[in-house]
Amino acid sequence: MLKRAFQIFLVVFGGILGFLYSPSLVKLMYLNNLFSVNEIVIRIIGMVSGALLLFLLTVLFIDTFVKWIKAVEDFIFKIPITDFLFGILGLILGLIVAALLSQTVIVIPVLNLVVPIFLSVLLGYFGFRIGLKKRDEIISIFLLSKLNKDKTNKKDGAAKYEHKILDTSVIIDGRIADICGTGFIEGILVIPGFVLEELQHIADSSDTLKRNRGRRGLDILNKIQKELEIKVIIYEGDFEDIQEVDSKLIKLAKVLEGKVVTNDFNLNKVCDLQGVPVLNINDLSNAVKPVVLPGEELNVQVIKDGKEHNQGIAYLDDGTMIVVEGGRDFIGHHIDVLVTSVLQTSAGRMIFAKPKLLEKAL
């Protein structure tokens, strides 16, 4: 059907061209001196010739034309409508720029015919590609400008909200809900769509542990949205040219000029390297733990033996591990210990102590 319609269109188009321009062509070739023929007859002959010529061309190249059309049609059908609309917007902007640049050569005889066509094709193509590939960043710019209209009134003027972008690990961890509930985190929580998608895959996992963690993360998000007063938005955009979720988070943080909230040690390091502000829940947890100084006395329960000879292991209420020298003999008992040293590591804080009874004996 498409092939037939295309043939009919070209035949009619060739006939119209032949009817309109055949007299001028005859005069250009000086054939009117050889044949004294009425102009109407010349136009009819030109119409038939033009239609026949384009019909022959369609017979030779119709399959190629149809393949091109179907390729364009398949391309349009495959891409999302949002991408297509942004591509058209980029095409229009490219053509506008081409039209403006073409005005600079409009007075030059030969260039005024060639340059406008070249610029229109080139800038129109690049405009379409830029609109197609940079859709997410364009959406982010509009989203950022919209969010920045929401401002808090302060004594020194209005200040825009700061965006806190949550990653998958901090959502599954769950402590972010309690922190938001205390009011220590201000601004707008941004939950990217690609993080939600990753969370959904975890919740649908065949592994029971992963499935429970994913469902816990979804429950945490529902709690934050419904029970807490902090503003939450779902960022629907995606960076399709980037595969890794962590890289997408960093890109989004740069676009929104926000901070990444995580408890992933590796993501924390990558954010630091790329100059992206990051809030690490583990760092916050370590910072608010009670300060313990050497020489202080603690009452702890020795739970198990340590790695070294005669060591015992105890824990504070906040989970801080205490290594008790000579504490193996007191496993299962509450004893008073004296702090000898405190070691701060990337994994947390570790306290070294010895039983007070031994200290008295010495």
Q: Is the pLDDT of residue 150 over 60?
A: no
Give the mean model confidence (pLDDT) for residues 121-133.
84
Distance CA 56, CA 13 (A): 13
Torsion over CA of 345, 347, 352 and 355, rounded to 10 degrees? Answer: 170
Strand partners, 260: 165, 278
The reported pTM is 0.52
Cβ(90)–Cβ(130) under 8 Å?
A: yes
pLDDT for residue 286: 76
Closest CA to 302 of 339, 326, 331, 329: 331
Whole-number percent of the chain with pLDDT over 70: 85
Structure tokens at 111: 């260039």
Q: Is the pLDDT of residue 247 over 70?
A: yes
Tell me phi and psi for residue 64, to 5 degrees: -65, -45
Give the mean model confidence (pLDDT) for residues 51-65.
77
Q: Which residue has the higher pLDDT, 77 or 205?
A: 205
pLDDT for residue 38: 67
Cβ(248)–Cβ(193) under 8 Å?
A: no
Please count the other Cβ atoms lying within 10 Å of the Cβ belonging to residue 135.
23
Q: What is the pLDDT of residues 211-228, one digit of tens each?
A: 888 898 899 888 888 888
pLDDT for residue 323: 92
- Domain 297-361 matching CATH 2.40.50.140: the answer reads yes
Q: Is the pLDDT of residue 317 over 80?
A: no
Q: Is the pLDDT of residue 361 over 60?
A: no
Give the mean model confidence (pLDDT) for residues 145-172.
64
Lowest-confidence pick of 128-142, 181-195, 260-274: 128-142
Lowest-confidence pick of 68-77, 311-320, 353-362: 353-362
Coil vs helix vs strand at 264: coil
pLDDT for residue 29: 62
Q: What is the pLDDT of residues 258-312, one digit of tens each?
A: 899 998 888 889 998 988 999 988 888 777 777 788 888 989 999 998 888 889 9
pLDDT for residue 358: 61
Q: Is the pLDDT of residue 167 over 80?
A: yes
Closest CA to 238 of 193, 201, 279, 198: 193
pLDDT for residue 353: 92
Strand partners, 94: none
Domain ranges within the chain, ordered by starting residue: 2-135, 144-286, 297-361
Q: What is the DSSP string of 79-109?
A: S-HHHHHHHHHHHHHHHHHHHHHHGGGTTST
pLDDT for residue 26: 67
Q: Is the pLDDT of residue 84 over 50?
A: yes
How confident is residue 314, by pLDDT bands cut at 50, 70 and 90? Answer: very high
Q: What is the pLDDT of residues 89-103, one digit of tens each?
A: 888 998 898 888 888
pLDDT for residue 70: 78
pLDDT for residue 151: 43
What is the CATH code for 144-286?
3.40.50.1010
Structure tokens at 248: 């997408």
Distance CA 137, CA 251 (A): 9
Whole-number percent of the chain with pLDDT over 90: 7
Q: pLDDT averaged over the chain?
A: 80
